[in-house]
Structure 1
Amino acid sequence: MTGLRQLQRQRVREAISSVAIRLFLERGFDEVPVTEVAAVAGVSKPTLFKYFPTKEDLVLHRIADHQGEAARVVRASGEPPVEALRRHFLDGLARHDPVTGLNDHPEVVAYHRMVFSTPSLAARVFHHMSLDERALAEALAEKTDDLTAGLLAGQVLATQRVLAQRNWRLLAQGVPLEEVEPEAVRAAERAFSLLPAV
């Protein structure tokens, strides 16, 4: 029964978020009040806030499944950490994972544009990144000293962010995916080669 209840909660959560993102992409994040999102989604405002404590969470829950991902990659791999993270990022490029910026679906491109051009959303993304950085530093500290772990965690996440934004910007400028992809792979290989081996 618990599994069914969780599945139902997840469906409601996804439905509310999908409505919100559709409205935000149509009219702009700041132009759509939470009360309208709740009404269109067919839930009360208190119910909406039970699932999403802030308006920003309506958008950023789509990246929440990536929270702590770099730390999980490091812990799960028998490879040196930087190599494991490089391979994971390249695998994401090959899958056109939206988190790598290499996805030309119009809604994904518009989603990135909204996130990076809306100050409150961009600030929350950086908050998520700081949590990821802390988690990655803890995972790396199991293999090296605390200072090296902290410095490398910051470098890795900055590298991934710069690469993803670069890919997204090229696609947003209209450069075809088939042209961006080989350049994205080359850039990722170069960027990860600049990171110190641990």
Structure 2
Amino acid sequence: MPDAPTQPYLTSKRETLTSAPHAAPGAGHLFLREDELRLAQDLVFFAMRDLNAPPDALLAEMDFGRAHHRCLHWIGRRPGLKVGELLSILGITKQSLTRVLGPLIREGYVEQVPGPKDRRQRLLSLTEKGATLERQLFESQRERLLSAYREAGGPAVEGFKRVMRGLISPQGRSYVETAEQPRAPKAPRST
């Protein structure tokens, strides 16, 4: 008898997912109907819409949008982030990033400095003003996230994280894994 396929396959009535590298040992097969997968799409859509509504409203007052939020988020998560890395994380062109990053720099939310070894490199960090805005944006989403996590409970939260990781490309997962690692405390500035 041949072994079970190693790749997931779709039948007309149900999806069969076999154990994958990110699956727990012994997870076995999970059978999902197309309507269950479409419901998952619906849930992701409404979750993102509702999670992003409060920061979108704050940003709209400043003539900023969701792309600005994404930049502030990732620069805040990774101070000293290289422009090339931000391009890679966001999956956008240099031209698109310039349109978004330009106003953030001009209005004092983001600072850009040359790299210490390669002066052509541009390293991005939030200014105090930028960190304050990024914190406001996070706080506008915090309660919804916290409430959803509490309502779901521990095992569901772990399952949610596994599903989300499964939706993310390997490159995206590496950024998430880096963000999950504890940060070293900042050294005090010498004067």
TM-score (norm 1): 0.28
Specify which structure has the higher proportion of helix. 1
Q: Which has the larger radius of gyration?
A: 2
Larger relative contact order (C-alpha < 8 A, sep ≥ 6)?
A: 1
Q: Select the structure that is richer in strand.
A: 2
TM-score, normalization: structure 2?
0.29
